[in-house]
Every structure is written in C-alpha cells, then in structure tokens.
Amino acid sequence: MARRLPRDRPFDKSRVRTVLVLRFDRIGDMIVTTPFLKELKQLFNSAAIEVLSGHLNASVLNKNPDVSRALSWRPDAVGFLSLLMRRGKYDLIIDLNHSVIWRDLILIRLLNPIWAASCFKDGRYGVSGTTLPMYRLMPKTDCLWSKSITAKYLSLIEHLGGEPNRNYSYQLFYQGRPGHVFEAPPPSASNKPIAARRYWVVNQSGGRPSMCLEADHMKSMIDLFLRRDEQGHILWATSPDTYRQVWRCKLKWFPKEDRVHVYKPTKDPMDICMFLKRARGLVSPDTSLIHMANAFCVPTITVFADESDLFEQWCPPSKSWQSHLFSKDSKSLIGYDGQALMESVEQMIQYCTALGD
C-alpha cells in the first residue's frame, strides 16, 4: 500500500514507492512508450512500476524488466470494481495522454494517488490540461527538442528530475509462441525450421481501408523479392480482418510458390514478433509492425500519408536502414509513387545482401 502522506505534500521522488502508468489505446502507442518506461525505472529504481493498459496492447510489455506488473483493464463494471480494490495503493499515477481524456480523470480520482503527473496536455472539451489542478506534475510547455510522441514522454522524465537518454530506442522482449505455424505445413523447399529462416515481411493493410498499398504493387514487390533473393522467403502479414483476402491473393498470384507464406493471425498480435525479429526487412504502411521492426533493428520501408505533423510524431527512431515514402493525401495512401516503392525495395535488398545473414 502507498504510505499515508498528505495530498498537498510537495513532490519528493525519494518517497515514491509505487507508480501506475496509464497507457491505453493501440499496440504502437505502447511500443513508443517503452523508452519512457525504461527511464522511469531508472528514475525510481526501487519503486514498483505498474502499467494499466487496454486488452489489445498489454502483451507488448511481456517480459519487460522495467515493469513490475501489467494490468489489462476494460471499461465495464468489473473493471471499475477491480480498480476500486486498488484505491490508495499508488504514490504516483502518470497519465500519458497528450490531451484531456475524461476516462483518465475519472480513473485518477478513483485511485486517489498522492501525486498525479502527465506529459504536456493540449486543450480539449474547452479545457486546457495545465488548468487541471489534479495534475500537480506537468511540464508547462510541450517538448522543445523533438515533436515525437516518445520525446513528449521523456520531457516528463526531465520534469520529474531525471536526465533521459535522447538517443532512445524501443524495447521489446516478447519471444513469440514457438508452436505457431503458417496457413499450411512447412514447405519442402527448405530444410531449416520455420523460426530459423530469414524472411522479407510484407504488409499491405493499415488501420483503415484507405491506408493500403495497391494490389498490383504488392504482387510486383513480392516478385522482386523472389527474383533477387533466391533463398529468401516471404511472410505476408495479415490481421483477422485481412487474412482471407490475402490468402485468396496468394492462391491467385503464387499458387505453386512455396516460399510465399501467409501469416495466420493469433489472439495475441505480438506473436508475429517471432518472425519479425529474424526478418531481413519489412515493407508496410504506417502500422505497429513498423515499431516492432524498429525495436529489433530491422530495415524498413514505410509508406505514410502526407501529414508532416503525424510523421514527425510517429516516425520510429533511426537505428537501421529506413526509407520513407509519402502519398499525396493527408488521410489516405492515395497517390504514393509505386515506382519509388520498387526502387526502395531494390535498395533494401542491396543493403541487406551487402550485410549478409
């Protein structure tokens, strides 16, 4: 239990023994938070760091040594009752939403910490984050040295008295399920076990139907990988929504090609890390796969919508070879340059070939 201290006590980081971080939303949101969690553990090295997440992104923290416990929460009666049982437990609660969210305000009131902190919040609902008295620990201005989401979080570490490493990288410790298989038995073209092969991972679909690569470009890209890397395999990433469509495309375009595999999604979206960590390269729209690949220093080609602010916020830190392509629309991938995509694929193949396996 948190020690009983006056709620108006000035912040003293040496008295923090229990911390809860609120980080809901999507998988990518949690991945870009991992540098913050690493710095938070260094700042409060003797404290228990817990994270309250959504059910979709909780597994991102699997085996993360900087997190004592990951709590998956659903906004229903059972979820609220489970939080009531933890009321008064935390010395410090950190809200990482960069805008005002009523859900987080309610949760903080419900859990009743000694101190509540947040990264700099933009206004919302006519309310400015800096005017909310519950956030006693919040930078007065947005991060000045970078527009990235991770940098916003690290600026909070500075506000709390830490000195974060600005040359950060994402942290993933997920191993994947050894028993996971593809849509069919292992092909006979290779004697290597599935997990020992090297893959070119390709992904056509983003989070919305408008955020997809064109079908003709996908076929041409896979053809290019197969021609230029005679020993390489293709892993075509899918989600539960796209699996059947991708499988039909595979049967239509590559019916006898046993080096093209369709990834069969599981209940845990992080299971694909088993293959991404051994990938030679990844081509994808801007999705969580890009952040996963970056954590494993996998070369990537990413197609972004033409929105400079979002690109600056979400572009992964450069730890390996990267190529960024843009569409001609701020809300979709309409108008990206297919020829430039093929040229980037050729460059990535040359780069990875020069490095060797």
pLDDT at residue 191 tops 70 = no
Q: Is 209 exposed, middle or buried (0-12, 13-18, 19+ CB in 10 A)?
A: exposed
Residue of 41, 18, 16 whose CA lies nearest to 90: 18
Q: Write down the pLDDT at residue 186.
A: 42
Percent of the chain's residues with pLDDT above 70: 91
What structural domains does the chain harbor?
Answer: 13-159 (3.40.50.2000), 194-355 (3.40.50.2000)
Q: Which helix (H) or strand (E) holds 42?
A: helix 34-43
Reported as a pLDDT band with limits 50, 70 and 90, residue 274 is confident
Cβ atoms of 20 and 51 closer than 8 Å:
yes
Asked if 47 and 18 touch (Cβ cutoff 8 Å), the reply is yes
pLDDT for the residue 194: 56
Range 95-101 average pLDDT: 90
Which has the higher per-residue pLDDT, 183 or 236? 236
Q: 196 falls in which pLDDT band (50, 70, 90)? A: low
Predicted structure pTM score: 0.91
Written as six digits, the tokens of 339 are: 């020829």
pLDDT at 185 > cutoff 60: no
- State the average pLDDT for the chain: 89
Q: Who contacts 188 (Cβ-Cβ below 8 Å, separation ≥6)?
A: 258
Q: Binning pLDDT at 50, 70 and 90, where does residue 89 land?
A: very high
pLDDT at 190: 46
pLDDT, tens only, 217-246: 999 999 999 999 998 999 999 999 999 999
**How far apart are alpha carbons 291 and 287 in whole angstroms?**
7
Query: pLDDT by residue (tens digit) across 311-346?
Result: 999 999 988 999 999 999 999 999 999 999 999 999
CA distance 65 to 37: 10
* Alpha-carbon gap, residue 287 to 304, rounded angstroms: 10
Fill in the DSSP letter of residue 212: B
CA 175 → CA 98, 145, 172, 270, distances in Å? 31, 34, 9, 9
For the residues 147-166, what does the mean pLDDT come to?
96
Decide if pLDDT at 295 tops 90. yes
